[in-house]
Structure 1
Amino acid sequence: MAMLEQALVFDGSQGPLVGILARPVTDCRAAVLIVAGQPQTRVGAHRMFTDLARELAAQGVASLRFDVGGWGDSPGEALAFERSDRDIAAAASVLRTALPGAPRLWLWGLCDGASAAVLALPAVRAAGVTPDAVCLVNPWVRTEASLAAAMVKTYYLKRLMQGEFWARLLTGRIPIANLVHEPLRHLRARFGRGKPGGSGGAARTRGGASAAGEGGAAETMSAAGTVGATDALPAQATAATAAEASAGPDLPEQLLVQLSAYRGAVYTVLSGNDLTAAETDALMSRDKRWRKRLDRKGAILRVPGADHTFSDPDHWAAVIRWVGEKARG
């Protein structure tokens, strides 16, 4: 199906926002607002958002991908994802008015982009737009407890079965103290006996690994290497502190408040080889409210073996097909 792409500049919370509207030449059956996680831009890791927009247009689904203020080509101060609600609302309003016939409108986001889209729902409604659906792709729901639960459930036993890990241990490249410290810290947090901690801890890469990584001298039994190399550090991860425990509802509670008040459809996409996705699974396992809201028939797509940004083309193609089918239907 033929498609058109159009550059748009529209008003955001800090000044002009830059976006790209992609739409089919013929009738548009639905529209998707693509919310980029930070510090990613409207292009996405390995051009994934560009591919998403063009493939959706080929399926008869329009989309708008844009840079929030302070990122990419949109000027302003680079703010945390929780503060992008007004820009998301502005983009939703522009997408609604740019297409004739008021097609079904989705909010779609990856990682903290997904969480930003949920937190922006009140601002989107205030702008006169009621989304028909929200699609959360490996949503960012991290707390110290969620990270610990995911690490205990999905990582440590798997790591112990890897010959490469034992080779590093036996050659002294993994200090015994670090080997014990990291699993013990996560076990204590998993069962509620650890000290309160922030959502990201100190300078972790996405997936929870320490900044040293697996090649560093102070290697721990961490999750480094379990996610794609294209993944970027969420802007909020390095700033998280113990204040999370005393600053009111944590991020999962804030998200659940909005999802509970929202009456549209909620779809979720989870990678099979991604710690962020595993944290969402762990959250659903221990909190029946999350299970009730997300785990409905046909509402979750699981992509076995996929990394955080679906860098395998076949994995990403499967996601695009599924999103297109749901949006059109």
Structure 2
Amino acid sequence: MNAEGRALRFNCNGSGLVGIVEVPERPLPRGVLVVTGGPQYRVGSHRQFTMLARGLSQRGLPVMRFDRRGMGDSEGEPRGFERIDDDIRAAMKEFFMQMPELREVVIWGLCDAAAAAALYVATDERVCGLVLLNPWVRTQLDDVAVWNKVPDGKRNVFAGAAPLPQRVADSLARYAGQVLVILSGDDLMAAEFARVMARHEVRARRIDVSGASHTFASHKWRAQVAEASANWIMSW
């Protein structure tokens, strides 16, 4: 199926954000929003997000990818993954405006973007599913040396917040939609999240990509991820 790439600009709390929507010739009512994390922008490491979006759109799935505030071509100050709910919400609003056929959206994210998606999802009933790749669940406050550097007057603020693994697990437990977790076979973050899944009994479909690095840095691994994502998203 043919698809058209549509460049767009939208607003998030006064900052202009840049994105691209892949519009299939005959769009399905379910779309995919790719959330970027870390220092990445809408293209992704090794062009992974671009190739994923084009592949999914050829199967009829509309796909939007965008630069959050302070990254890529978007305006604003950079912020950590735990503070991008407004960026995701603004992108969701724009996605539905661009694609009136949409009825529901799957959010797809890698590393800290996966954690951000997991934390966001319980607040938006339009999200029917999550694809989480090697979610980041490491909290530096678990490190005693780091904790000791926090000023005494600030410790009560951090003490009241649950550790990141617990917050991610709790958010997924409250979420009633579908969840797919894709883990690299050769990645410490993936191994760490696998332990979180077991400890907190996270309800999700899990796929392991044998030997893969954190960002799936080969054509073979990226193709496996794209195929697994597409098959799962279209299976329910």
Q: What is the TM-score with the length of structure 1 in the denominator?
A: 0.65
The answer on whether the counterparts of 2:37 and 2:109 sit within 8 Å (CA) in structure 1 is: yes
2:145 aligned with 1:133, yes or no?
A: no
Supply the AA of the counterpart residue of 1:305.
G
1:267 is the counterpart of 2:180: yes
Instruction: Report the Cα offset of residue 258 of structure 1.
Output: 1.6
Aligned counterpart, 2:151:
none
Tell me the amino acid that sits aligned with residue 265 of structure 1.
Answer: Q
Per the alignment, residue 313 of structure 1 pairs with: 219
1:178-197: CA deviation from partner (whole Å, max 9, x where unpaired):
xxxxxxxxxxx8xxxxx635
Query: CA contact under 8 A between 1:61 and 1:327: conserved in structure 2?
Result: no
> Partner of 1:132: helix, strand, or coil?
strand
Q: Which residue is 2:55 aligned to? A: 55
**Does structure 1 conserve the Cα–Cα contact (< 8 Å) formed by 2:122 and 2:175?**
no
SS at match of 2:171: helix
- 1:19-58 equivalent positions in 2, closer than 5 A: 19-28=19-28, 30-58=30-58
Counterparts of 1:1-329 in structure 2 under 5 Å? 1-28=1-28, 30-123=30-123, 125=124, 129-143=125-139, 196=144, 246-285=159-198, 287=199, 289=200, 291-294=201-204, 299-329=205-235
For the residue of structure 2 that corresponds to 1:293, the secondary structure is coil
Amino acid at match of 2:28: C
Q: How far off its partner does 1:63 sit?
A: 0.6
What is the deviation of 1:198?
5.0
Summarize deviations over 1:52-76 as a string: whole Å, max 9, x none.
Answer: 1111111221110001111111111
CA distance in 2, matches of 1:198, 1:63: 40
Structure 2: segments with no counterpart, 5+ residues? 148-154
CA distance in 1: counterparts of 2:12 and 2:140, whole angstroms: 33
Match of 1:225 in 2: none
Specify whether residues 56 and 243 from structure 1 end up closer, same or farther in structure 2 by C-alpha distance, changes over 3 A only.
farther
- Root-mean-square deviation (CA, aligned residues, Å) is 2.4
Q: CA deviation at 1:96?
A: 2.2
Aligned-partner SS, 2:102: coil
Structure 1 residue ranges (4+ consecutive) displaced by more than 4 angstroms after TM superposition: 242-245
1:14 & 1:121 partners in 2: Cα distance? 23
- How far did 1:29 drift? 5.0
Q: Retained in 1: the 8 A contact 2:29–2:102? A: no
User: 1:249 and 1:78, CA in 2 relative to 1: closer, same or farther beyond 3 A?
Assistant: same
Cα contact 2:106–2:131 (8 A) shared by 1: yes
Letter in 1 for 2:226: I
Deviates more, 1:276-285 or 1:107-116: 276-285
**Cα offset, 1:268, TM superposition:** 0.4
What is the DSSP-based 3-state SS (H/G/I as helix, E as strand, rest coil) of the residue aligned with 2:73? Answer: coil
1:68 and 1:116 mapped to 2: Cα distance?
A: 12
The structure number with the bigger radius of gyration is 1
CA shift at 1:102, angstroms? 2.5
Residue pair 1:86, 1:120 contacting (<8 A) in 2 also: no
Q: What's the offset of the Cα at 1:104?
A: 3.6
- How many correspondences in the alignment? 230
